[in-house]
Structure 1
Amino acid sequence: MARYIAFLRAINLGAHRKFPKDAIRACVEGAGFRDVATHINTGNVLLTTSRRSRASVENALEEAFLADRGFPVPTIAFRPEELVEVVRAGEELAASRPEVVRHYVTLLKEEPSAGVSAEVTDATEPGVDVLVVGRAVHVVTDHVLGQGGPQSDRLERLLGVATTRNQTVLSALVQKWC
């Protein structure tokens, strides 16, 4: 049995994309996953499965969410050891920037090419440091992001399916589930 932590994108934003964590848990269990747990209401789900690939897990969840909610819910899954590495890399980056006020981590469905990683790193605004590590893009800044950060539409198109959490949430998940 494999464990995964799944991150749901674009839920509980506005009146039409509601997906409370209890409903998420019931839907994931109904799709045949076990040992399901959720953390806060932003779409963070721990699960156990006999499925052998991350893509299979993501596809099964996305199909179940669409059937349950009636709207697509892009889902990005990480093995616990992958998430531990994401958090560790973020801690190292933040330690090099003690003035950091915000630390966002954009989790990607697919690992970007070296060229895309370089373009993402080069396209950020002054005062923002970006580190692409595997399927995660760390963004640390001492101010609120404006246009040109990794959340911009242009960079989102480069990175593909992604969802963003802050480093604090990811660290809490590692402590709780890994």
Structure 2
Amino acid sequence: MTMYAALLRGINVGGHRKVPMAELRTLLTGLGHGDVRTHLQSGNAVFSSDSGDENTLAVELERAIEEQFGFAVECLVRDAAYLAAVAGACPFPAAELPPKELHITFFDQPVDAARFAPLDAAAFRPEEFRLGERALYLHAPGGLGGSKLAAALSRPSLNKDLVATSRNWNTVTKLVEMTGGDA
């Protein structure tokens, strides 16, 4: 059995697209997964499965959520080894930064630097970003809420044909811990 994290995009924000975590746990268990737990109310779940295909797991979860709740939710599923590798590859000094300054955006597919080339990254300093494997690391010293770089990075023109969802550093490290990964 492999441990996975499911990252649901855009739920329980502003009272819209509500997915109660207890119901998400029941849904994941009903799909045949074990060791199901959730973290926070923002769409983070961990579970074990003998399936080795993250994309199939994500599609199954998306279908089940739409059937259960009546609306579509994009999901990314990542295994424990991937989460630990992404956390371990952080290009910023995570141990020295307040966790609210560091975020990771997970993508459904590899993304190359050419996608973000139209962005004048120097204009957003001291904020900065780096690309990783199906991930983007964002250092926003003022936090995400007022980050002009985060707003620019989330423009539809830069994210065309991508499923993306972001998590703060505390959530990423908690998901690594919950899945038994080693960062």
Equivalenced residues, count: 176
Partners of 2:114 and 2:50 in 1: CA distance: 35
Q: TM-score, normalised by structure 1?
A: 0.86
Hey, what does 1:151 align to over in structure 2? 154
Relative contact order higher in (CA < 8 Å, ≥ 6 apart): 2
User: 1:28 deviation in Å?
Assistant: 1.0
User: 1:118 deviation in Å?
Assistant: 4.8
Unaligned stretches of 5+ residues in structure 1: none
Partners of 2:138 and 2:74 in 1: CA distance: 21
Give the structure with the higher percent helix.
1
Are the equivalent residues in 1 in contact too, given 2:4–2:179 (CA < 8 A)? no
User: 1:126 deviation in Å?
Assistant: 2.5
Alignment counterpart, residue 161 of structure 1, candidates 160, 163, 175 = 163
Residue 88, structure 1, aligned to residue 88, structure 2: yes
Matches within 5 A, 1:99-178: 102-116=101-115, 118=117, 122=121, 125-143=124-142, 144-146=146-148, 148-157=151-160, 160-178=162-180
Hey, what does 1:23 align to over in structure 2? 23
Q: What is the identity, as a one-letter code, of the residue corresponding to 1:44?
A: N
Are the equivalent residues in 2 in contact too, given 1:101–1:140 (CA < 8 A)? no
C-alpha spacing 1:102/1:49, structure 2 compared with 1 (3 Å): same
| Larger CA deviation: 51-60 vs 62-71 | 51-60
The CA deviation string for residues 67-111 of structure 1, in whole angstroms up to 9 with x for no partner, is 111111101111101101111222x41359858861111111111
Q: TM-score, normalised by structure 2?
A: 0.83
RMSD between aligned residues? 2.6
Q: In percent, how many aligned pairs have the same letter? A: 26
The CA deviation string for residues 39-67 of structure 1, in whole angstroms up to 9 with x for no partner, is 11111111112223111111111111111
Q: What is the identity, as a one-letter code, of the residue corresponding to 1:141?
A: A
C-alpha spacing 1:100/1:65, structure 2 compared with 1 (3 Å): closer
Hey, what does 2:3 align to over in structure 1? 3
User: 1:113 deviation in Å?
Assistant: 3.2
Give runs of ≥4 in structure 1 deviating > 6 Å.
none
C-alpha spacing 1:176/1:121, structure 2 compared with 1 (3 Å): farther
